[in-house]
Amino acid sequence: MTGNVTLPFYKRLEFKIFLRIALLFITVFSLANLMLNSWWIFAVLLSGIILYQLYELYHFHKKTLDELNNFVESVQYKDFSRRFDVTHAPSELQVLREGFNTINDAFKVITKEKETQYHYLQKILEMVNTGILSYEDETGEVIWMNESLKQMLHVPYLRTIHSLKKRDELMYNDIMDLKSGQGTISNVHHEKNNFKVLI
């Protein structure tokens, strides 16, 4: 539906750009003829028209760049709720704003789906009896750990993976020795009992 609506706008926009360039070419060509024939009064008047045409062309491109900057800013700050007013926009910007709104709508749907999947996954991971831990590889900052692991280690949270060293140095060393994509079985040592975990 959107593609059918925006196509006439594109054609109209292309025509307006072509018309501006064609008129500018005609006036510059006419100015050259007037100057060759020494009709200086008409040449001065036509020079004013050319300056106005150049200003209009610049203003048209500046408006387009401003619209693009506004859209990039909304994407940068993940503000996909932002709507670009199409009805009150100049005709040459309507197609641009309509396209931005379509992209924002698509981003909103994708973000909502990802959030829903993330919450479902969290619920599932909280229900399993296996201890699960996710951390940033470079900084060691713990992103998430489930309740099972908290109970196994008897800790409410871990700020970084390096905090594990104080709780269980052998398990910490096993994790640090792992390379990406590898797994191993490690022993969790506790005052009352020891048990094996897959890491």
Confidence of residue 6 (pLDDT cuts 50, 70, 90): very low
State the DSSP code for 181: T
Give the pLDDT confidence score for residue 66 in this predicted structure: 83
User: Comparing C-alpha atoms, which of 65, 69, 29 is closest to residue 49?
Assistant: 29
**Side chain identity at residue 46, one-letter code:** L
For the chain, the average pLDDT equals 77
Give the pLDDT confidence score for residue 2 in this predicted structure: 44
pTM for this entry: 0.46
State the DSSP code for 135: E
Give the pLDDT confidence score for residue 153 in this predicted structure: 76
Over range 77-106, report the average pLDDT: 79
Give the pLDDT confidence score for residue 157 in this predicted structure: 79
Q: Of 21-35, 93-107, 172-186, which gets the smallest average pLDDT? A: 172-186
Confidence of residue 72 (pLDDT cuts 50, 70, 90): confident
With beta carbons less than 8 A apart as the criterion, state whether 150 and 133 touch: no
Query: Is pLDDT at 141 greater than 70 in this prediction?
Result: yes
Over range 96-106, report the average pLDDT: 82
Degrees (nearest 5) of the Cα angle 164, 131, 186? 65
Q: Phi first, then psi: give them for residue 118, nearest 5 degrees.
A: -65, -45
Give the pLDDT confidence score for residue 100 in this predicted structure: 82
Over range 16-27, report the average pLDDT: 84
Give the pLDDT confidence score for residue 176 in this predicted structure: 80
With beta carbons less than 8 A apart as the criterion, state whether 199 and 174 touch: yes
Q: State the CB neighbour count (10 A cutoff) for residue 159.
A: 9
Distances (CA, A) of 96 to 10, 59, 102: 9, 16, 10
Give the pLDDT confidence score for residue 135 in this predicted structure: 81
**Residue 183 or residue 113, greater confidence:** 113
With beta carbons less than 8 A apart as the criterion, state whether 149 and 164 touch: no
Q: State the CB neighbour count (10 A cutoff) for residue 14.
A: 10
Give the pLDDT confidence score for residue 58 in this predicted structure: 85
Question: What DSSP letter does each residue of 145-179 carry, written as one string?
Answer: E-HHHHHHHT-S--SBGGGHHHH-HHHHHHHHHPP
